[in-house]
């Protein structure tokens, strides 16, 4: 461990910016795995391309595709939604699945260094080995680093982008349910994992919540429950129905957030976000959450679920992003894959 941290991104002055910092591009991995959306994969392409269109109005969209055939299929689907293809770049990086937040590169920046940007390539094991094969997904960050001619740091442990949330001022928010799960890094304790997070993301403080929402196959990713919207404010989902199985765990998370203090000693400002009614498909409760929004340059893109709370959630998110357009896109079919817009995307910061 010592050797890695002697030359860590943090020691070299690099850190992972907040999602609202300016992007050069957003990375996506084109969905092709039918087993992730059994019987529904064709239905996801229209909302997926609508998502891409919203991002592309303010930045480049860089899409990993398996081959020329996938690229042509993607181009056709994008054109159907009126996407300006001059904003789209395709990269031949074969994948197993579409969840770029978790298998994609973590871009860190240091404005005073050369190069100003580096990539951290964490290990990836499809959320504790749940969905093999995942070997192609695991190498995507290094392939992208080669294509962009950027240095790569390899921490050598498993970490997923959806399990960590950043305020851009030294604080990471995460969950014990995911990061301390024995299916990720059983050889590491909480203090050791904190050291990896600080050294490899350039952070100073790790704040821990408990459980994620019911139906989340990632073992409790933070990006379905609590999100930073500025350096000292979080949006966090709460369940209003005391009989709902998410009610108690989200109340416990809310209490934990109230007790937390940032590096400067200040408490978090907490804005509560409703949950949609349970989204059930084939007797399976899906991890539908308005917290899985993505902050792009031009807009904040929010998953909606044909639910009575959709508009209320959009209004609350608009209130914390007064300078950005907030767009709701129907995610009822996409969520059958057990993730939504934040899970599908990974930002590349501008320098």
Q: Which residues are catalytic?
A: 343
Strands ordered across the beta sheet of 106-109: 106-109, 117-120, 152-153
Tokens of 134: 């995942």
Given the structure tokens 């860590």, which residue do they identify? Answer: 8
How far apart are alpha carbons 302 and 198 in whole angstroms? 29
Q: Report whether 161 contacts 121 (CB < 8 A).
A: no
- List the structure tokens of 63: 């899409």
Q: Which sign does the torsion angle of CA 257, 125, 293, 39 carry?
A: negative
Strand 171-175 and strand 60-65: pairing?
Answer: unpaired
Nearest to 252 by CA among 213, 292, 293: 213
Residue 1's DSSP bridge partners are none
């Amino acid at each position: 461990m010592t050797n890695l941290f002697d030359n860590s991104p943090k020691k070299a002055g690099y850190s992972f910016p907040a999602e609202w910092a300016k992007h050069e591009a957003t990375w996506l991995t084109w969905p092709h795995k039918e087993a992730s959306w059994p019987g529904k994969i064709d239905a996801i392409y229209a909302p997926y391309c609508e998502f891409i269109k919203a991002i592309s109005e303010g930045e480049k969209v860089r899409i990993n595709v398996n081959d020329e055939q996938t690229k042509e299929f993607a181009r056709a689907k994008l054109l159907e939604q009126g996407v300006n293809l001059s904003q789209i770049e395709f990269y031949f990086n074969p994948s197993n699945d579409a969840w770029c937040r978790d298998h994609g590169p973590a871009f860190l920046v240091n404005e005073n260094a050369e190069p100003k940007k580096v990539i951290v390539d964490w290990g990836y094991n499809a959320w504790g080995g749940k969905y093999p094969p995942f070997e192609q997904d695991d190498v995507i960050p290094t392939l992208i680093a080669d294509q962009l001619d950027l240095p790569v740091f390899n921490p050598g442990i498993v970490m997923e982008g959806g399990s960590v949330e950043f305020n851009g001022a030294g604080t990471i928010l995460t969950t014990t349910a995911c990061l301390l799960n024995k299916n990720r890094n059983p050889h590491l304790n909480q203090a050791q994992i904190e050291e990896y997070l600080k050294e490899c993301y350039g952070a100073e403080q790790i704040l821990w919540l408990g459980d994620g929402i019911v139906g989340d196959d990632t073992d409790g990713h933070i990006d379905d429950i609590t999100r930073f919207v500025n350096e000292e404010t979080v949006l966090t989902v709460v369940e209003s129905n005391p009989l709902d199985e998410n009610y108690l765990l989200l109340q416990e998370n809310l209490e934990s957030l109230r007790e937390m203090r940032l590096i400067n000693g200040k408490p978090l400002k907490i804005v509560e976000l409703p949950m949609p009614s349970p989204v059930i498909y084939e007797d399976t409760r899906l991890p539908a959450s308005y917290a899985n929004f993505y902050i792009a340059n031009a807009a904040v893109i929010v998953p909606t679920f044909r639910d009575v709370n959709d508009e209320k959630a959009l209004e609350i998110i608009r209130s914390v992003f007064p300078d950005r357009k907030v767009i709701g896109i129907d995610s009822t079919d996409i969520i059958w894959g057990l993730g939504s817009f934040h899970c599908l995307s990974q930002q590349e910061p501008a320098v």
